[in-house]
Structure 1
Amino acid sequence: MARLSSISLLGLLYYGNIVAATASSNYTDYLLSSGTVKLGEWQSAYDKASALVETLTTEEKLTIITGGSAGNFTALEMLDSSTNPYTYYYVTTWPAGLAMAMTWNQTGIHDQGQALGSEFRGKGINLAYAPTLQPLGRSAWGGRQGETYGPDSYLNGHMGGQFVKGMADAGVIPSAKHFILNEQETNRQGSTSGGGGMGGPPGSSNSSTTTATTSTLPYNSVADDKTFHETYLAPFYDAVKSGIGGAMCSMNRINGTYACENQVTLGKYLKAELGFPGIVHPDVGGQHNGIESANAGEDFGSSMYWSNSTLGVGLTNGSFTEARLNDMVIRNMMGFYRYSQDASYPAYVSPTADVDVRGDHPAVARARGAESIALLKNTNNALPLKSKRSVSIFGYHAAPRYLGPNTALSVNTGTASTMIGHMTQVGGSAMGSLAYETTPFQVFTNRAASDGFMLRWWLNDSVVTTTSGMSGAGTVLTETTIGVADNSDVCICFLNAWSGEGGDRSELTNADQDNLVNTVADNCNNTIVVINTTGPRLVDQWISHENVTGVLYAGPLGMESGNAIDDVLFGAVNPSGRLIHTIAKNESDYDPGTAISENETIDFTEGNYIDYKYFDKYNITPRYEFGYGLSYTSFAYGTNISIQADTAALQQEYATGQIAIGGKEDLWNIVANVTATVTNTGNITGADVPQLYVTFPDAADQPIRQLRGFQKVSVAPSATETVTFTLRRRDLSYWDVVAQNWAVAKGQYTFYLAASSRDMKASTTLTL
């Protein structure tokens, strides 16, 4: 196999920032025909695609790379998203990415990927724009956090990787997005962008609703080489290793060059360093030219840019090569052959066709939704709800929207930060295609009928204190917020925070909703708060109120949302969700440098210190930390944890393996196992999520602690279960910017068994 040239222009770097390569750079190292990448299980697909390409004319090749059919190859059908087959009838709308990540269940998200993949397959869709790995969540105010797997690159990569494996097992081509450094919606398309509300700490220039952006170009992301590799590129390692056959390049620029024509990020890093064998295709509006995008590494594009008058001319004047054109065509076919779509793949059907592919998936989606809900507060065992005779529910979020459920949900400048109605999905291209939607109002009504309690409701976020109905009659409801709360055994406030593709968040709280909670709690000594959100939603406006006895916190839960919430509220499901982002006490506690920016250039000066790593670095106490979540039972961790390590392998400083699918092969070698125990000390069965955090030697220049293992385990009362965290070489490596390689530092590693990023239970060390 050919090795990457150490002097290739693809590899040129400034010590800090990655360099945007030009179209004149040498890109031959990332051609599949170069032999740079050991293809392994993808070799047969390459052989089939290569054989077909040899039979095609230049015109036919241009047809394939612009989305057409040629030879005996039929154009791929492509569609969003990781929640559902977008816009289709008779499909399942699953919990959004944030919610699925909050399960911390790798088997569960694999199975979701496989079930969702079967629905794409049933509709005749070849390639799914899924999973969404980025935006990672650099900014607490980012609008698209609801559809991704969180700001920790390890958790993001593991959950996204398992989703990829599941979808691939269904025979559908997974295509990860958005590549790369695409961390806000505002100004992602320049002055023509939908923009969105600006987010920022109170008092900052970004704390109010945005005005028109002044830039005429998409924002330009600038990140140093170490940050790029250790935080933003890391999840894509998992996705490539797990089997993605596609990657969507983003709309933003990177170091001055559009992401879809950036030869360093697409050629050097994605295709050569990670060994990605598939198709790079642009986000909507992501392609801007012909020769430059083709030479940079984009493989699928518009005939407006790629035709005989552009690429065809390039073939004759030497600015484009036949080898690169063949590589583009082959990459368009790699996933098709890798996942045997040439053998009896279902025919494409239109979105409204009466083809029902759901099977038992709604029931599974309900279970995953319930599993994702995090219990944040539970004073005096207020939850689960039992033996209640009078129940009152509050908030727009308890009931359906005025229209729906399968309606377009666009996000742009001025869009409200809360949804008037039950929020079950994010906005934009990951919105749900809902055949129906269950809401808390619906399930509480059914429960009142079956269980015999008295149900009252206030389906509004506003507080009304003036009496407009009869009062003093004893049985007539006073038409005020207080009147609905009066004499209730339990009052439940339903809150949401909504956002999505097209706009960032203008606030992390909401004055109307928070006033509602405080008013209800002032008049009801057993007030429960249920939150569904698309990103961090602060709670300090009422969390310390003595009458707020319970808090449930979740992402968008999809079509079975109401049922999933009911399952946890009433104890059919013991909550086991864990936070995937930090909930601060104040907006100003988040890094102001990561606030949504209208600047043309966004400099990632915070480096690897985002979310809990930032809070740890500056010793900021969160309200609820990353990884946090309670249960209706209790758990105790063993005080002794053990580690078995392959010290001989770890003494080798740099990764030396051959480049294969997922990068250098030895990065994936198992080098250590950490073993611990967890005991259920309560009286009901529950699932816990023991977590492993690692502190690196100083030479590695890493955050104080970072997640390097997690395992979801169900434990019966009084039982003890053993958990084992498996560490790969890459989990104990850092990116050496001088050597341009992954390295293992010498010194002491400390391994912490933990219940969250701030709750360490036991530790052990390893010295190299």
Structure 2
Amino acid sequence: MLLDGFVLALTAAAVSSPAAAQSAPATEQAGARSSGTEVWRDTARSASERADALVKAMTLEEKLALVHGLFPPQTKSPPADMIPSAGYVPGVPRLGIPTLRESDASLGVANQVEQRKGDVATALPSALAMAAGFDPDLAYAGGAMIGAEARAKTFNVLLAGGVNLTRDAWNGRNFEYFGEDPLLSGRMAGAAVRGVQSNNIVATVKHYALNSQETGRTILDARIDETALRESDLLAFEIAIAEGKPGSVMCAYNRINGDYACENRFLLTDVLRGEWHYPGFVMSDWGAVHSTEKAANAGLDQESGQELDSSIFFGAPLADAVAAGRVSNARLDEMVHRILTGMIATGTYDHPTPTAALPIDYNAHADVAQRVAEAGIVLLKNESNLLPLAREAKSIVVIGGHADVGVLSGGGSSQVRSVGGAPVEIPLTSGAAASFARVTYHASSPLRAIQAMAPQASVTFVDGTNPAVAAEAAKKADIAIVFATQWQTEAQDAPSLSLPDGQDALVGAVAGANPRTVVVLETGGPVLMPWIDRVPAVVAAWYPGQRGGQAIARVLFGEVDASGRLPISFPRSASQLPRSEPVQAASGASTEGAAANAALGDAAKLPPYPVNYREGADVGYRWYAASKQKPLFPFGYGLSYGHATFAGAHFTGGDSARSSVQVRNDGKRTVTVVPQLYATVPGTQTPRLVGWARRELKPGESASLTIDADPRLLARWTAQGWRIPAGSYKLTLATDAEHAIAETNVNLVGSVAASNSNEIRGNKAAKKKTH
């Protein structure tokens, strides 16, 4: 299979020393170019060997051209084959090295402010929605769909794969990430990246690392203890890279413990290359480069969107630095070697994208987006089984959220111009995101979908701008459904976790007028719910994507089970969080932060401000456990319309940890169960997710489920590397981070120190095979 071949190729590249790509004498390089022996085209060879040959065949000018890329919206005298997009890096036609045509693509092939007039794409739900499905196979399908569209549009690099943990609930880009847990985030992102790259194009994993806030992101200095960093955010990246094999990793805007991410030798060379043996290339975020020699020598391989930096650091300054020996020829060759390795291993080199756009089956792709949305919608509350709604309801009033015309999407570089157009699009008049973000809705009307589900009912719409008018309409209806929205965007964080624009008052008024009120949340993450005790049914739909209206209606009416589980905890109040207000407000640096976002290249002129991550590795549900608090809704939580029972839970220890359980659907509806296995590791006080299962059961169906603990989550970071401590581990089989099915203590024999957690995983697998 293509995927298997890709994994083998990248694995082969990983074990080959980058020293092989270092510079050879000029006569040897000339010989390689003139001999006619094109070793780089031999697909039987490893990606690393082929990259070696290409590097030897390239001129100095060709190498220098490959390590920095253009930003098309600001490029003067653009090449003839450049199209408006995120980035462009010219290829080397004589050697078959393709031009890199890069697109933003976290949730679909982006076209934020319609640079390419009339070009639409399929919009997936937000990454949080995808993570709520707890289904890597569905994440793979979403990635494969995006990758197919990108290839058909002639792109061969997708800037997709956000792995940053959602440390702060108001982070403007939380909707682009996979939640607060490193195992869930790493596995889901890895699956999505594999899906993208199944189309023979490069995907990235980003933003490496600790890009946990947006306002002031270019001047933020993330401070964290190394052990805590290793066991949280870096572990998420490590898992995503191990399982996704991305062709590229994108370094972040912020500093980490003093050094910018894109010139942080500890992250880029010591960890990524030295410990994880990552063979691909590191590209910068757009506007995240601040130096030439320091960045290149630290491990940055390619400067992206060079016009957004204060200088084109990897252009003439890099050529001068190489000539003067401040950056060695060997290091330049390694930079090029890694770029070529990423291109070859992903199939980008051998399978060039078409020269003209190809047709796309948008209907089939929309089906994928709808399946992702349906799997990720979370039923948070359902008193008296108000949901699913009966088709026999005589009158339903739909209130607010522009639900008459569409569903909300998140803003910024991930914005997709979806098929069907944007029925609502509101330009920003101020703020760091104003130049590239608009409040945009996808044309998928929940109102029309609800009308289709209940054709005998009177289904009306009230815009919700006047709570009194909405309450009056609610009094006259059998059911009131309030659509509450919170728009989030890259470049700025939410000022509050409260619903904006007086929507809490709207929900309160409607709930007071109609005891059969349902609230549907379209948000970028958690929001506060001061009305929760007065509303019988609450659904978290996130940003539900191109078919969001249909997906919401199908869940509300029980066409599909409510099967999503929270990938991020919902607090009762902001005071429960490690930081009780947005970081920029706490630091007093909001003005500087906005300025830094507006002019990325000028960030070096502004003083950094530190953010101390006092929670360390205890992110999200671990923080609640460590601080002995109960969130409003915990990580992993989600109700179902069916009824399943768990029995006979069994736990084993020894060489590895495992749990098995019998589950039976005792209800009359199909039900989805997502049992989760948590472990409390010796030397820690908080549980961590070590595995889960997702299974759909028909009425009366039973199944035996087994969950193997991922050894990477059982390990602790020590001065000697990763080690699974010998001793007693508390294992908890649960429906979420707060509600146990069964628990016990097991003893593990532990492991010898390993250089990284993937070696621990490999050692455990080898040990199992010998038994």
**Shorter-chain TM-score category?**
0.7 to 0.9
Select 1:33's aligned residue among 13, 19, 32. Answer: 19
SS at match of 1:641: strand
**1:8-67: CA deviations, max 9, x gaps?**
xxxxxxxxxxxxxxxxxxxxx99722799xxxx997111111101101111111011122
**Any conservation in 1 of the 2:16–2:48 contact (CA below 8 Å)?**
no
Structure 2 distance, partners of 1:645, 1:391, is 57
- Indicate yes or no: 2:555 matched with 1:568: yes
- Indicate yes or no: 2:155 matched with 1:169: no
Structure 1 distance, partners of 2:579, 2:157, is 38
Structure 1 distance, partners of 2:504, 2:424, is 28
CA shift, 1:316, in A, is 3.3
- Indicate yes or no: 2:725 matched with 1:745: yes
Structure 2 distance, partners of 1:121, 1:406, is 27
Select 2:476's aligned residue among 470, 487, 491. Answer: 487
SS at match of 2:488: coil
Q: Which has the higher contact order (CA 8 A, sep 6+)?
A: 1
**1:446-482: CA deviations, max 9, x gaps?**
445xx22112221124313xxxxxxxxxxxxxxx223
Which residue does 2:422 correspond to in 1? 405
**1:149-176: CA deviations, max 9, x gaps?**
0011111111111112222222221101
Which residue does 2:146 correspond to in 1? 116
- Indicate yes or no: 2:220 matched with 1:219: yes
What RMSD in Å do the two structures reach over aligned CA positions? 2.8
Which residue does 1:685 correspond to in 2? 670
Which residue does 2:754 correspond to in 1? none
Structure 1 distance, partners of 2:705, 2:435, is 39
**Any conservation in 2 of the 1:62–1:306 contact (CA below 8 Å)?**
no
Q: Using a 3 Å threshold, how does the CA distance of structure 1 residues 582 and 42 change in structure 2: closer, same or farther?
A: farther
**1:231-290: CA deviations, max 9, x gaps?**
010111122212111111111112222111111111111121111111111111101122
- Indicate yes or no: 2:704 matched with 1:722: yes
CA shift, 1:616, in A, is 0.9
**Any conservation in 2 of the 1:374–1:552 contact (CA below 8 Å)?**
yes
Q: Using a 3 Å threshold, how does the CA distance of structure 1 residues 680 and 278 change in structure 2: closer, same or farther?
A: same
Which residue does 1:755 correspond to in 2? 735
Which residue does 1:374 correspond to in 2? 378
CA shift, 1:677, in A, is 2.1
Structure 1 distance, partners of 2:296, 2:45, is 23
Select 2:348's aligned residue among 329, 334, 341. Answer: 341
SS at match of 1:750: strand
Structure 2 gaps of 5+ residues are 1-14, 23-42, 69-88, 409-419, 590-608, 750-771
Q: Which residue type is aligned with residue 294 of structure 1?
A: A
- Indicate yes or no: 2:542 matched with 1:558: no
Structure 1 distance, partners of 2:565, 2:362, is 28
Which residue does 2:456 correspond to in 1? 452
Which residue does 2:101 correspond to in 1? 77
- Indicate yes or no: 2:660 matched with 1:675: yes
**Any conservation in 1 of the 2:297–2:327 contact (CA below 8 Å)?**
yes
**1:704-738: CA deviations, max 9, x gaps?**
211111111011222221222223432210111x3
Q: Which residue type is aligned with residue 763 of structure 1?
A: E
CA shift, 1:592, in A, is 2.5
- Identity fraction in percent: 30
Structure (1/2) with the larger helix percentage? 2
Q: Which residue type is aligned with residue 610 of structure 1?
A: V
Q: Which residue type is aligned with residue 578 of structure 1?
A: R
Q: Which residue type is aligned with residue 67 of structure 2?
A: I
Structure 2 distance, partners of 1:314, 1:680, is 67
Structure 1 distance, partners of 2:517, 2:460, is 14
Select 1:92's aligned residue among 122, 134, 141. Answer: 122
Structure 2 distance, partners of 1:733, 1:230, is 9
Q: Using a 3 Å threshold, how does the CA distance of structure 1 residues 609 and 672 change in structure 2: closer, same or farther?
A: closer
SS at match of 1:54: helix
SS at match of 2:231: helix
Structure 2 distance, partners of 1:372, 1:42, is 42
CA shift, 1:309, in A, is 4.2
**Any conservation in 1 of the 2:636–2:737 contact (CA below 8 Å)?**
yes
CA shift, 1:111, in A, is 1.5
Which residue does 1:280 correspond to in 2? 282
Q: Using a 3 Å threshold, how does the CA distance of structure 1 residues 728 and 523 change in structure 2: closer, same or farther?
A: closer
**Any conservation in 2 of the 1:372–1:576 contact (CA below 8 Å)?**
yes
Which residue does 1:133 correspond to in 2? 163
Alignment of 1:54-453 (within 5 A): 54-66=56-68, 67-70=89-92, 71-72=94-95, 73-87=97-111, 89-134=119-164, 136-189=165-218, 218-242=219-243, 243-301=245-303, 302=306, 304-306=311-313, 309-349=316-356, 355-358=359-362, 360-386=364-390, 387-400=392-405, 405=422, 437-447=443-453, 451-453=455-457
Give the TM-score taking structure 2 as reference length.
0.79
Alignment of 1:517-666 (within 5 A): 517-539=507-529, 541-545=530-534, 548-592=535-579, 595-597=582-584, 598=587, 600-643=609-652, 645-646=654-655
Structure 1 distance, partners of 2:320, 2:523, is 51
SS at match of 2:538: strand
CA shift, 1:320, in A, is 1.2
Q: Using a 3 Å threshold, how does the CA distance of structure 1 residues 354 and 158 change in structure 2: closer, same or farther?
A: closer
Structure 1 distance, partners of 2:619, 2:45, is 38
Q: Which residue type is aligned with residue 619 of structure 2?
A: I
CA shift, 1:343, in A, is 3.1
**Any conservation in 2 of the 1:92–1:433 contact (CA below 8 Å)?**
no
Q: Which residue type is aligned with residue 755 of structure 1?
A: T
Structure 1 distance, partners of 2:45, 2:426, is 42
Structure 2 distance, partners of 1:373, 1:760, is 22
Structure 1 distance, partners of 2:212, 2:20, is 33
Q: Using a 3 Å threshold, how does the CA distance of structure 1 residues 357 and 85 change in structure 2: closer, same or farther?
A: farther
**1:191-240: CA deviations, max 9, x gaps?**
xxxxxxxxxxxxxxxxxxxxxxxxxxx11111110111010101111222
SS at match of 1:530: strand
CA shift, 1:307, in A, is 5.9
SS at match of 2:707: strand
Structure 2 distance, partners of 1:694, 1:709, is 9
CA shift, 1:342, in A, is 3.0
Q: Using a 3 Å threshold, how does the CA distance of structure 1 residues 284 and 105 change in structure 2: closer, same or farther?
A: same
Give the TM-score taking structure 1 as reference length.
0.79
SS at match of 1:266: helix
CA shift, 1:85, in A, is 0.8
CA shift, 1:414, in A, is 5.8
CA shift, 1:397, in A, is 3.8
**Any conservation in 2 of the 1:688–1:712 contact (CA below 8 Å)?**
yes
Q: Using a 3 Å threshold, how does the CA distance of structure 1 residues 514 and 554 change in structure 2: closer, same or farther?
A: same
SS at match of 2:61: helix
Q: Using a 3 Å threshold, how does the CA distance of structure 1 residues 447 and 725 change in structure 2: closer, same or farther?
A: closer
CA shift, 1:404, in A, is 5.3
Q: Using a 3 Å threshold, how does the CA distance of structure 1 residues 274 and 234 change in structure 2: closer, same or farther?
A: same
**Any conservation in 2 of the 1:126–1:336 contact (CA below 8 Å)?**
no
CA shift, 1:525, in A, is 2.1
**Any conservation in 1 of the 2:689–2:713 contact (CA below 8 Å)?**
no
